[in-house]
């Protein structure tokens, strides 16, 4: 599968947070998240391992009992079934890989 950059294909996950699946294979899925300043991704968990990289912006991640300030160039890995949340201090954009594939994120 190959993805050529374009401005379409985003869907709103919750108000102020948009997701676009870029590519996926049998075992992994790569997506881009765009989060508006001040928006909060509520605490949640899922069975998928989640590895990410902040491209732009400034965010806070709460992963389990740990709090991380995240700036461009920082990355993270959240094990499956671990509670996590995030808050954007600026308009932010990150890319994340999920394994196994998140079926609800398939185009």
Percent of the chain with pLDDT over 90: 97
What's this model's pTM, rounded to 2 decimal places? 0.94
Provide the residue ranges of all domains of the chain, joining segments of one domain with +. Answer: 18-102
The whole-angstrom separation of Cα 105 and Cα 31 is 8
The whole-angstrom separation of Cα 28 and Cα 95 is 13
The whole-angstrom separation of Cα 43 and Cα 4 is 32
Looking at CATH, the fold of the domain delimited by 18-102 is given as Jelly Rolls (2.60.120)
pLDDT tens digits for range 2-46 = 999 999 999 999 999 999 999 999 999 999 999 999 999 999 999
The whole-angstrom separation of Cα 2 and Cα 84 is 30
The whole-angstrom separation of Cα 61 and Cα 84 is 7
Tokens representing 78 are: 């959240």
Please say if the pLDDT value at position 1 is more than 90. no
């Amino acid at each position: 599968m190959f993805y050529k950059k374009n401005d379409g294909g985003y869907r709103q996950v919750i108000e102020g947070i948009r997701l676009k699946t870029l590519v996926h294979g049998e075992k992994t899925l790569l997506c881009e998240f765009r989060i508006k300043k001040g928006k909060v991704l509520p605490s949640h968990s899922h069975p998928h391992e989640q590895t990410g990289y902040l491209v732009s912006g400034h965010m806070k991640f709460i992963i389990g009992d740990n709090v991380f300030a995240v700036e461009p160039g920082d990355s993270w890995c959240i094990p499956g079934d671990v509670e996590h949340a995030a808050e954007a201090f600026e308009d932010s954009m990150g890319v994340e890989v999920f394994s196994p594939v998140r079926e609800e994120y398939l185009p």
